[in-house]
Amino acid sequence: SSGINAEYGGIEEEQGMCVLAPNVINQYLFLILWFAIIFTIACNCLSVLFALTKLIFILGSYKRLLASAFLKDQLHYKHMFFNVGTSGRHMLQIVASNVSPRIFEAIMSNLSSKLISDRLKGNGKGNV
């Protein structure tokens, strides 16, 4: 409330905070939601950085592919992995993590032989 203070000749102002139960509950609810949003933003930023490092560091991605499928480092696997592009590498990683190692080895052998034969026929870019 405000009023005129006769003793000092000025306007008297009182400030107060409403402490009704629903307002207190809303205050804590929004505080919890704010921290949840900050946590979600931080996790998303870390996820994006992790995905970018996987795309940038191709050699580490190749070694991770070999390890997940229990493959030996062979020249035609390496050649295929480095020439399929970013999307192709990502698809190979997905397939390697979701099928058995024997099936993935058969897929890699089949794809690499087709890639080599296409390159030798002149349908691809560059030499084997």
| Residue range 12-35, pLDDT digits in tens | 677 776 667 777 888 899 999 999
* pTM of structure: 0.49
Pure H helices in 1-128: 21-56, 58-69, 75-83, 85-98, 101-121
| Residue range 66-94, pLDDT digits in tens | 887 778 888 778 878 887 877 888 888 88
Q: What is the phi/psi pair of residue 71, to 5°?
A: -95, 150
- Rounded CA-CA distance 48/37 in Å is 16
The DSSP secondary-structure symbol of 12 reads: E
